[in-house]
Chain A
Amino acid sequence: MYRYDQYDHLIVRERIAQYRDQVRRRLADELTEEEFLPLRLQNGLYMQRHAYMLRIAVPYGLLSTAQMRMFAHIARKYDRGYGHFTTRQNIQFNWIELEQTPDILTDLASVEMHAIQTSGNCIRNTTTDEFAGVAADEIVDARPYAEIIRQWSTFHPEFIALPRKFKIAINGAVEDRAAIAVHDIGLTAVRNEAGEVGFKFMVGGGLGRTPILGSVINEFVPWQHLLTYTEAIMRVYNQFGRRDNKYKARIKILVKAVGAEEFARMVEAEFADLKDGPETLTREEVERVAQWFNPKPYLTLPNIDPRAEHADNKAFANWLMRNVKPHKVPGYASVVLSLKKTGVPPGDATAEQMDFVADLADKYSFNELRVTHEQNLVLADVEQSKLFEVWQQAKARGLATPNIGLLTDMISCPGGDYCSLANAKSIPIAAAIAERFDNLDFQHDIGDIELNISGCINACGHHHVGHIGVLGVDKDGAEWYQVSIGGAQGNESAIGKIIGPSFSAPQMPEVIGRLLEVYVKNRVEGERFVDVAQRLGVAPFKEHVYATPIPAGAKVGEDEYA
């Protein structure tokens, strides 16, 4: 993975000095809270319901085992022994003291990490496919380009006070695992007929209050122009994005207002002046960055079937089926460590688990880990012959729940337990649903399904693109949940449709149960829930869910995970 050179170190060090002084001035009241706010946000520090929350950047979700151990250290020393991996491939700590944040940054810098631009109205962490570099269906390894964008966007002087936050995602595989259609800029790294790398630019996607899928504005921008073309987009947005209303300030609103064609024209006009200018990438620079992502020292191994030796071990077989992914190098596989054990908030990991996964990665996966946007962790390079060992060890630590892609592999934002913007809790809803459908045979029968939960319209839990989406809403001061179906991320991205009036928290497990009943009754061979939902539309689901009143059932929503 990328390693800092002296310049990266210098910039991060000077950043800490700057931020340390900003904190000092705030504590001395030389800065008002209003003035401090954008400064701390650009360092990922939020004021939450109970305490400060610090969001640390995990560039494109890739981290070394030393970095993971540092998270464990931060969890122990500055927090309450755990952290929360997010849909943006970052990690958040929820119980942070302002006074300690400069020291946390100093600790992070010792492992080449920081919290720069993890929040605020600037270009955020660029995300990518968690299997970049190893996926069997990969066309271009997106990681060097993500790193190049990271550097270019870090403290970009012109794009530091944009109308709104700005998110870029890159995918370089056949299957889009980076949810590019719901990003401000969604890039697909592709090769043209001559084999040269270029980028398909999609602009104006996003969730939140107004969910919109991005529009393609350029089918092929040669790699040399990656930064200049992006800069052209940013300058158009900075000048013309709305600033009068923060709910209409994202680039998606601008693209929609002027139309994708006109927007593309505006970008071309800017780009004409930038093209071939100094930010044009050189082969030397791309190669310099790319060498850090060179293939690992893989052994020459035959492909084997790890099931063969353990033919009667159903639990292992389930895990292989759900949590192990194909690898482009023979004899290897990628393993998803599930952070979705029933009873644990999605994406949470304890310091002990972090240390443990670091040990696992040291032993089995070239000292590296990855964070997925579904809030799980990945060991990308495991020898197939070691899968059984890895499974046994992960299982002992509660990280081998064979549920990747299944109902209990839910995405959930922190919701009302932590978040001051929430309309409703989401973690207890996730917990109640997980408990009700804990039965793995049932889950395997239901098959691939994405259940995404957000505690408010901001959509941090991606509810719009869940096959089933759950949104917390506030009605007369009480917490309710609105349900949508048919959303999807990836190549066939779609925004879900609301099925009808919202439900109380205790009703939610039964609502999900009824939706699944309609699916099971109507599916034909090989059809996933989302296929049925899109084929039949909302009507049959709506009919069945609302046919008879749903009893309130056991109370969910207690503060047990807060």
Chain B
Amino acid sequence: MPNFELHSHKQIIKHREVVDDDWSVLKLIEDGTPETVEVPAGKIIVPVKVWLAQREQLLGRAARRELGIWFASDELAHTVKDDLDKFAVVAVDFPKFSDGRGYSIAYNLRKRLGYQGELRAIGDVLRDQLFQMLRCGFNAYATRQDRNIHDALKGLTVFSETYQASVDNELPLFRRHQRGALPEHSDIGAGI
């Protein structure tokens, strides 16, 4: 019995489109440890811990652009800060949609560490989170398979303006636009 599982999605959202995907996400199970797990052939996204434990063996596969890593939500971006350009994919896991640590990991990967490549959200990824994921720097989304992925696409276009700076917008609203147009209604509430 292998001490890992592979999860794959036929389709993901990438750059605002539904595309086919041939990556698998490796998860350790039972007695699997980062040191002993044997990463199978193919395009595999391994846990950060596996990369740290088997870096020497995996460097070659990374060089062939066959390797990605994924962060668990309690891991910190800077643990792989010097290796980021080696991976074809960096993913961040959302074990539950209510666990928001992945947003900070993404922010740090992009803003603090300057990661430029594919940043993929995996795990409990639902339509109503996509907009904030996009803003924090994700550009690919392995949405939950029991939901219609084309519906999920709509989650990327909820707001056309936002107040804060984040990864998607370097500048906050007050630096992007001249604000302070006159209020739309001079007589608010007159209708009731």
Contacts and interface: CB of A to CB of B under 8 A. Distances in A.
Interface of A: 3-7, 9-11, 14-15, 18, 22, 30, 35, 38-39, 64, 66-67, 69-70, 73, 107, 110-112, 121, 151-152, 154-162, 235, 238-239, 243, 273, 277-279, 282, 284-285, 288
A282 B174 contact: yes
B192 A107 contact: yes
A513 B34 CA distance: 66
A159 B107 CA distance: 11
Contact of B191 (A3, A110, A288): A110
A14 B131 CA distance: 13
Interface in B30-47: none
- Most A CB within 10 A of own CB, among B135, B171, B192: B192
B135 A157 contact: yes
Contact of A11 (B163, B182, B189): B163
Given A7-B179, A157-B131, A161-B98, A278 B188 contact: no
B83 interface: no
Nearest to A15: B159
Contacts of B136: 157-158
B158 A282 contact: no
B57 interface: no
A154 B163 contact: yes
Given A66-B189, A158-B166, A273-B112, A279 B103 contact: no
B114 interface: no
A67 B185 CA distance: 13
21 contacts: A7-B179, A14-B159, A18-B158, A35-B97, A69-B189, A69-B192, A70-B189, A111-B189, A112-B185, A152-B172, A157-B133, A158-B100, A235-B107, A238-B101, A238-B103, A239-B101, A243-B101, A278-B170, A279-B164, A282-B174, A284-B174
A110 B185 contact: yes
A285 B184 CA distance: 20
A171 to B, nearest CB: 24
Contact of A288 (B107, B179, B185): B179
Given A18-B158, A282-B175, A64 B188 contact: yes
Contacts of B172: 152, 278-279
Nearest to B192: A73
A155 B103 CA distance: 13
Given A5-B180, A6-B181, A14-B159, 5 more contacts: A7-B163, A9-B184, A155-B162, A157-B166, A278-B171
Given A158-B104, A278-B170, A282-B174, A10 B188 contact: no
Given A35-B126, A64-B188, A278-B165, A157 B103 contact: yes
Contacts of A112: 183, 185, 188
Nearest to A284: B174
B173 interface: yes
A55 B113 CA distance: 40
Interface residues of B, number: 48
A284 B178 CA distance: 10
Contacts of A107: 192
A296 to B, nearest CB: 17
Interface in B75-99: 76, 97-99
A39 B103 CA distance: 17
B131 to A, nearest CB: 7
A445 to B, nearest CB: 44
A239 B191 CA distance: 46
Contacts of B159: 11, 14-15, 18, 155
A157 B161 contact: no
- Most A CB within 10 A of own CB, among B98, B131, B183, B189: B189
Contacts of A110: 185, 188-189, 191-192
Given A111-B189, A157-B132, A5 B183 contact: yes
A177 B101 CA distance: 34
B160 to A, nearest CB: 7
B5 interface: no
Given A10-B161, A39-B128, A238 B192 contact: no
Contacts of B170: 278
Contacts of A15: 159
Contacts of A39: 128
Contact of B160 (A14, A162, A273): A14
A3 B183 contact: yes
Given A69-B192, A152-B164, A6 B103 contact: no
B128 to A, nearest CB: 6
Contacts of B135: 157-158
Contacts of B97: 35, 38, 161
B132 A160 contact: yes
- Most B CB within 10 A of own CB, among A6, A10, A277: A6
B163 A151 contact: yes
